[in-house]
Structure 1
Amino acid sequence: MIDPFVAASPVLKKLEDAGFEAYFVGGSVRDFLLNREINDVDIATSATPNEVKRIFPKTVDIGIEHGTVLVLVNNGEYEITTFRTESEYQDYRRPKEVSFIRNLKEDLQRRDFTMNAIAMDRNRKLIDPFNGFSAIKERIIQTVGSPNDRFQEDALRMMRAVRFVSQLSFQIENETIQALTRLAHLLDNIAVERKRAEFEKLLIGKNKNNALKLLLDANIHSFLPDLKEQRQQLEKLIRFNSTNLNKNEMWSLLIYCLNLQQKEIELFLKEWRLALKDIREIQLVVHFLSKRLEQDWSIYDLYSAGRDHILSTEKLYQVINGNNEVESIEYWLKLYENLPIKERTEMNVTGNDVMTWFNKSGGPWLKETLLTIEENIIAGKLENDIEKIKEWLMKCNQK
């Protein structure tokens, strides 16, 4: 894999050759220092957006009012943001106006946490005016300056702090924790979509249970959709070892802990503004999980669920029962893989075939007949061959 900093270095050099400062900033620098995988890099520069556009021939204005320009170069695309300061915030989430500046330290000073307020030049030299590297080494989450100020500027930063506890297994320093508890109510001003994005990242972090406990301790859960009165249910969620569950599986486990009925699941997830596709996936997993908790899989349920839903259901079943029986999961998946068909379209007979054989037009009888054929093929009682199916149907019709 190509080092993303090496790939992006020519972009920094081009800005420097034009007489400007340019640095890698933010999460990519933090993750580099933590030896975590880096997917992309952010670049900050003393050049204004118009100056950036004059330097690079191919650009896209993706947030030019906030100083961000997307630069397209041979080896990729990079978001380049001008050093800036931000005026008084409104609605506890966005600044009234942004001013472009030439000073890196002032730009870093507006950032949320010290670990995210480190810049790095193309030679890997750190510019760290707020001791972010020290915070990383000590695994501490601390705001740049007063936590009261940072959280009142953008209340979502409180959820970001807790999310980092989940993702990085860091601890939040005491003054910052006190501010979380004191200012949690400001999250009422934040759009559900933004809160959901942070909550979902929290749900799939390795240290999620400690982060969820912190959500409860700071009363942040009271300002999340439909969770205000669910302390006991969230405490139940914390008790599970859910390390290996993905995002939708974690939503499914949360729903299990909340003891929601099928008709309530969609309403709950819509409150969180989940995509309809994800809502349907989660509903299916919860449906099969409720059946699995009562009995073993039937052949038809395996067929109806499909491989991905079987896997998710079994993972959840193991978590809820405190097991880690890989052989059990493999057993059910093998049964599924050995089914004669995996979906109705694989049946070697159509509705038109059946109507022709019986010289009848469609209706409820046809749906029932196709379902009967499907069930018998899945159960291994009927070969998936059109002549065998016709012969079998004719015999059944004579009885």
Structure 2
Amino acid sequence: MKIKKLPDEFEKARPVMQTIEKAGYEAYFVGGSVRDTIIGEPIHDVDIASSAYPEEIKKLFKNTIDTGIEHGTVMVLDNNVGYEITTFRTESGYQDYRRPDKVTFVRSLEEDLKRRDFTINALAMRENGEVTDLFGGIDDLNHNIIRAVGDPNERFNEDALRMMRAVRFASKLDFNIEDDTFNAIKRHSKLLEKIAIERIYVEFIKMMKGLKPRQGLLDIINTNMYLYIPYFNHHHDDILSISNLKNLDLTSEVSIWSLICFAFKYNRLQIGEFLKAWKSSNEVINDTKICCSAIYKIYSKTINDISIYNTGKSLLIIANHIASLYGFDLNENDLINEYDNLPIKNKKELSINGGILIKNDILKPGPKLGEILNVIEKKVVNGRLENDTNELINFTKQYLKE
């Protein structure tokens, strides 16, 4: 197979490849960029593999950086763009079920491709667009199949994260996992315990953003991987219920976690514990708590100006979208209009602040200052006070007398 029209990312890298080949070595584009080019998807990272050893690459180019030379990777800088060149290699050892204990440089492309995870990722392309397919990757792309390279049992014992990657790629591309590969995942699902949760997190989020997240969730259940993911083992039926939702199009981490936490019926404390176990950022944890609170209020029909204000427009839209998956959403335009018509959108928009109250000798710094500003904030949002400096000062004076 030969690709006639190469994406710009490849075209720009061709001079680097040609330099390597002119020196008598082999050079190929490898991995996801080749796969995505064949199926017409945009590419992101351009990875290059070569028969040249790291020191040989460094002799061919003036500007290089040793980004991972112990694993055979050297970055070549060409026209202010960095290209990582990795020597063909074999790997062995994998005592941690994630990374090889030993890397051996080789001159054979076939030996290098043998260690790849799936056939659709074991494709190599020369700078002129000629594709080398030694494991039937193109046929699997044409038939929408995720298949391990060689023996899937070996592949998953080498790197247990590949099990989550299989599910992720199946969801992302709307492919099916081939039977032997699927059964091997089920057989070795417990190995997922060996993988850092941060790694699982990345694959899970990508899976949920794919074309078929519902199928991804079913795959996680049917392979038993859910038993070895933090907190998921107690929520088989809840995960199943999410997989039954239609139009599951989620585009952000907060929307994904908010849906899951709502399905798991978590309160604020439980959301915090759950997402800390997943090593989520504090921002994601806080936003998920706010979003879930809004979902519950939409569900119970108790949403009002102050809850709309506390949620904010972007999280409000997410909360209502999740509500729509369950069929209890509100009219989105009405919600947005209610938000847009709020007197203020945040505390900084108040016509009064602590500095003004202190400067006018109305209050001194302390807890009482914060208490009064919170009261004022709520009353302004609810329309009980005009956001006017003089009116708010007068209210404060009266409030202190009471």
The secondary structure found in structure 2 opposite 1:81 is strand
Q: For residues 238-290 of structure 1, give each alpha carbon's deviation from its aligned partner in whole angstroms, at most 9, with x where no partner exists.
A: 11232244222111111111122211211111211222222222122122222
- The aligned residue for residue 284 of structure 1 is 290
How much does 1:356 deviate?
Answer: 5.0
| Preserved contact between residue 7 and residue 37 of structure 2 (Cα < 8 Å) | no
- The aligned residue for residue 49 of structure 1 is 54
How much does 1:396 deviate?
Answer: 6.6
Q: Distance in 2 between matches of 1:19 and 1:173?
A: 39
Q: Residues 67-82 of structure 1: matches in 2 within 5 Å?
A: 67-82=72-87
- The aligned residue for residue 45 of structure 2 is 40
- The aligned residue for residue 25 of structure 1 is 30
Q: For residues 196-247 of structure 1, give each alpha carbon's deviation from its aligned partner in whole angstroms, at most 9, with x where no partner exists.
A: 2211111111111111111111111111112122211111111123224422
- The aligned residue for residue 142 of structure 1 is 147
Q: For residues 332-357 of structure 1, give each alpha carbon's deviation from its aligned partner in whole angstroms, at most 9, with x where no partner exists.
A: 12221222321111222222333455
Task: Give structure 2 stretches of 5+ with no counterpart.
Answer: 1-5
The secondary structure found in structure 1 opposite 2:141 is helix
Label 1:258 to 1:395 Cα distance change in 2 as closer, same or farther (>3 A).
closer
Q: 1:237 aligns with which of 236, 239, 242?
A: 242
Q: Does structure 1 residue 171 correspond to structure 2 residue 176?
A: yes
Structure 1 runs of 4+ aligned residues shifted over 6 Å read 395-399
Amino acid at match of 2:141: I
C-alpha RMSD of matched pairs (Å): 2.2
| Preserved contact between residue 363 and residue 369 of structure 2 (Cα < 8 Å) | no
Q: Distance in 2 between matches of 1:272 and 1:397?
A: 46
Q: Distance in 1 between matches of 2:120 and 2:7?
A: 24
| Preserved contact between residue 16 and residue 22 of structure 1 (Cα < 8 Å) | yes
Q: For residues 279-338 of structure 1, give each alpha carbon's deviation from its aligned partner in whole angstroms, at most 9, with x where no partner exists.
A: 222122122222222124311122222122112211111122276x7xx22221222122
- The aligned residue for residue 132 of structure 2 is 127
- The aligned residue for residue 11 of structure 2 is 6
Label 1:322 to 1:11 Cα distance change in 2 as closer, same or farther (>3 A).
farther
Q: Does structure 1 residue 372 correspond to structure 2 residue 375?
A: yes
- The aligned residue for residue 203 of structure 1 is 208
How much does 1:393 deviate?
Answer: 4.8
Q: Distance in 2 between matches of 1:392 and 1:259?
A: 41
The secondary structure found in structure 2 opposite 1:95 is coil
The secondary structure found in structure 1 opposite 2:142 is helix
How much does 1:391 deviate?
Answer: 4.5
- The aligned residue for residue 3 of structure 2 is none
Label 1:294 to 1:80 Cα distance change in 2 as closer, same or farther (>3 A).
same
- The aligned residue for residue 313 of structure 1 is 319
Q: For residues 159-205 of structure 1, give each alpha carbon's deviation from its aligned partner in whole angstroms, at most 9, with x where no partner exists.
A: 11111111011111111111111111122222222222211111111
| Preserved contact between residue 143 and residue 150 of structure 1 (Cα < 8 Å) | yes
Q: Distance in 2 between matches of 1:359 and 1:254?
A: 47
Amino acid at match of 2:377: E
Label 1:230 to 1:380 Cα distance change in 2 as closer, same or farther (>3 A).
closer
Q: Distance in 1 between matches of 2:294 and 2:122?
A: 46
Count of residues in correspondence between the two structures: 396
Amino acid at match of 1:373: I
Q: 1:157 aligns with which of 157, 162, 168?
A: 162
Amino acid at match of 1:385: D
- The aligned residue for residue 100 of structure 2 is 95
Q: Does structure 1 residue 339 correspond to structure 2 residue 345?
A: no
| Preserved contact between residue 299 and residue 328 of structure 2 (Cα < 8 Å) | no
**Identical-residue share of aligned pairs (%):** 39
| Preserved contact between residue 24 and residue 41 of structure 1 (Cα < 8 Å) | yes
Task: Give structure 1 stretches of 5+ with no counterpart.
Answer: none
- The aligned residue for residue 255 of structure 1 is 261
- After superposing the two structures, state which structure 1 stretch, 261-270 or 367-376, moved more: 367-376
Amino acid at match of 1:379: N
- After superposing the two structures, state which structure 1 stretch, 213-222 or 365-374, moved more: 365-374
The secondary structure found in structure 2 opposite 1:44 is strand
